[in-house]
Structures are given as structure tokens and as C-alpha cells.
Amino acid sequence: MGASTPSYLSYLYLGHKMLKQMLLTGCLVLLSVVNTGFARGPNVLMIAVDDLNHAMSCYGHPQVKTPHIDSLAVQGVRFDKAYCQIPLCNPSRASILTGRRPDELRVYDLERHFRDQLPDVKTLPQLFKENGWYSARVGKLYHYNVPFGIGTNGLDDAASWDHVVNPKGRDTDDEKLIYNAEPHRAISGALSWLAADGTDEEQTDGIVATEAIKLLEAHQKEPFFLGVGFYRPHTPFVAPKKYFDLYPLDKIQLPKFPANDRSDIPEAAFAHNCPVPNYGLDRDTLLRATQAYYASVSFIDAQVGRLLDAVKRLKLEDSTIIIFWSDHGYHLGEHDGIWQKRTLFEECSRTPLIIYAPDQLGNGKPTQQVVEFIDIYPTIAELCGISAPVDLPVNNGQKT
């Protein structure tokens, strides 16, 4: 997606310069860059989810129940063709939060920090912080190892935030109870799960929501940029038992695919850590893994619902932009047994994205326009009346 085919959000960023072209090409203006009418800058609530694919009712999944994310999709714009820059946590997140491509950041793996290459790059939360917004993070916005980094700062960026919270819940204490279907791998990268005892609020992601709500309450009177990052449905798939009960094993369907689906797919298209179909696991184990993933999605949905309820209760709906994304998609056995991430198939590179910006004409309508995740940075800055760095790739890297 180069400069010759600017994406939908890029159109937004370019604003007036592109308006004529937008009309000529028939692009539907779902969000506009006109004055948002706020007496003060709008707040930003950025909700990040880890390893969430389109297994949500609002994206047409026949089984997975996500009523709260669905409500946000109805309230805002659901992007049906949004693509992450690289389908892996660290490079995708670094790209979203700097508005720059992995090729510029030189971040392709799970270890490298984007400031190693660009020490003075201005992140999106940093931009807001420097323009007077209170900037805070709860949980995983930049990369973290899940689950072993939970409770730490992970690969954080201190310049981005006024305040950070690193929740750590009973899921970390319960690690010894987690079932690992591939015991030769660590649970961070293996199909592994736990139908947990206890309440939502005891889980790390329940604490993420609780702490984020506290920050919403404490900072409701000032412009804020609040990043709220959930750790599930990343492996291990840990969620309270009631969410597993939503998905009886005999109702779960494994993906269908054509016979010989792999015969015309080059080897390089498959992730190096998923060398054989389904990791060689049997059908019952795959059904249980799918159940656990679905349970984790519904558990996260409930935590998102708690956040959205707080926004409503605090009467922040008319002054808060809400951006919901996952860092990439996720495989659950498609193409004859691909699981997890690190591929460029649609299931993995196409990524959930929902944006609600108050009073925008496009709210309530999904869009098929292709967007990429580097478009998020300039769009959110523009919606809040803040000038983004002029050398972002949306400007083709030019200082115009």
C-alpha cells in the first residue's frame, strides 16, 4: 500500500488536499477531519487486544459472542479491511504507536526497541503528552512477553506516558495449572489453556479494566490519552470457567479448507514455528484449544464492556474518541492446520479495527476501504487538532 494508492485513513489525514480526489473516486467519507467542535481537545481511549482475530459477532463470526465490542462497532466505524504492518506483536505495536513502517524502525522481531533505530521518534501518546494531554498506559500497549512479562514494564517506552500501571492477576499464580498441549514449548508460544476459578476481576485483564476505570474517574476533567492493553486471547488462553461454558465442544467447528490446500502454497508462506499441520495434535485437542480461544475472546469482550460502561457512566461519550485494535489476526487451523501468527494470510494480517469519534458522519457504518495501521497515528492526531510529524510515511516520508 504505497503512496500511489493512499488508504482510507490516509485520505482522512490528507484532508482538504485529497477531498477532490475522494469525491472523484467515490470514496465514502466515514470520518472527516473537520473541526470536531470540542471546547477542549477530545480524549482518546485506545483499547489494544493481543492476538485477537475476527472471531467476534460484529465481524460475522457465527458462534463467538462479543456483545460489548459489537456495541462499539455499531457506535463507530468497523473497518473490515484493516491490515497490520507485520503480524507479530512487537513490530506491529511499534508501528502503530509511531505511525512508521517496520522498515523504517528496523523492528521485525520480539526483542528490538524502536528507539534503537530512531531514538528521537515521537510516539502517538508522546505527541499527546507534549500537547497537554494526560497520557497513561494500563497493561500491554508496547510489546510484552505473555505471560512471563506480565507485571513488568515489558518493552515499554518511558517517553510516551505520564503514568503506567502493570497489572498482575491470579492467572500468573495459576500457571502451574495451565494445560500445555505442546509441552516441549513454553506456554507463551504453545497451545495452552486454563478454565480458571475465580472472578473476572482477579485475572490480569480484569485488573487492567479496573485500573483503567480508576484512571478514567480520576482524569475525567482533563484531556487524556489512555492506552488500555489486554493480554488475552494471547496464549495461554486463560479465562474464567463461565466463558468456556459458552462454547460446548460439540458445537465447535474446525475450519474447512479445500483438499490439497497446501499444494499451491510455497513453504515460505508458513510460519517457521508451525512446521507441520496442527502441530500434529489430534482433533479433540484442537477443539479444546479453539474453545479456550473463544472463551478468552468473550472474557476480553466483558472487560471492554466494563470500560465502555465507565465511559458512559462518566458522561465521556461525547468527548472521547475510542480506538479498538488488535496487533494482528490469528490462525485457528485454517489452510490445513495453521495456528497462531507470523503469516501473511488474511486470517493473520487482516486485523480488527474499530474507531468511534463523536459526531462523525460515518458512525454506525462499516467500511470496506483498505487501511493499514500506520494510518491510525495521523488520523487520531488530526481528529484531536494536533499536528503529526510531517515526515510520517503517510506523507511519503517527505518534509512538506
Catalytic residues: 89, 143
- Distance of closest approach, residue 300 Cβ to Ca ion, in angstroms: 13
Q: Which is nearer to Ca ion, 50 or 301 (CB)?
A: 50
Q: Which is nearer to Ca ion, 262 or 342 (CB)?
A: 342
Instruction: Retrieve residue 216's grid coordinates.
Output: 478514567
All residues at 6 or more sequence positions from 265 whose CB lies less than 8 Å from its CB, including other chains: 335
- Distance of closest approach, residue 217 Cβ to Ca ion, in angstroms: 29
- Distance of closest approach, residue 310 Cβ to Ca ion, in angstroms: 25
CA distance 194 to 292: 7
DSSP E strand boundaries for the chain: 43-49, 77-79, 82-83, 134-139, 163-165, 179-180, 192-196, 224-229, 237-240, 320-326, 331-333, 338-340, 353-356, 371-372
Q: Which is nearer to Ca ion, 51 or 347 (CB)?
A: 51
Instruction: Retrieve residue 25's grid coordinates.
Output: 473516486
- Distance of closest approach, residue 296 Cβ to Ca ion, in angstroms: 13
Q: Of 147, 146, 148, 166, which Cα lies nearest the Cα of 156?
A: 166
Q: Starting at the edge strand that comes first in sequence, how are the strands of the sheet with 134-139 ordered? A: 77-79, 353-356, 320-326, 43-49, 224-229, 134-139, 163-165
Q: Which is nearer to Ca ion, 93 or 219 (CB)?
A: 93
CA distance 322 to 318: 11
- Distance of closest approach, residue 51 Cβ to Ca ion, in angstroms: 4
User: CA 347 → CA 83, 89, 330, 335, 344, distances in Å?
Assistant: 10, 15, 6, 10, 8
Q: Which residue number is nearest to Ca ion in terms of Cβ? A: 89
192-218 burial by CB neighbour count: b if 16+ within 10 A, else e?
Answer: bbbbbeeebebbbbbbbbbbbbebbee
Q: Which is nearer to Ca ion, 10 or 85 (CB)?
A: 85
- Distance of closest approach, residue 370 Cβ to Ca ion, in angstroms: 21
- The number of C-alpha atoms within 13 Å of 152 and in the hemisphere containing its C-beta is 10
DSSP 230-281: --TTSSSEEEEHHHHTTS-GGG--PPP--TTGGGGS-GGGS-TT--SGGGG-
Q: Which is nearer to Ca ion, 86 or 354 (CB)?
A: 86
CA distance 98 to 314: 30
- Distance of closest approach, residue 200 Cβ to Ca ion, in angstroms: 21
Q: Which is nearer to Ca ion, 311 or 332 (CB)?
A: 332
Q: Of 248, 333, 331, 233, which Cα lies nearest the Cα of 283?
A: 333
Is the CB of residue 304 less than 8 Å from the CB of residue 324?
Answer: yes
- Distance of closest approach, residue 348 Cβ to Ca ion, in angstroms: 10
Judged by the rule CB under 5 A, the positions of this chain that interact with Ca ion are 50-51, 89, 327
Q: Which is nearer to Ca ion, 12 or 295 (CB)?
A: 295
CA distance 298 to 206: 12
Is the CB of residue 106 less than 8 Å from the CB of residue 85?
Answer: no
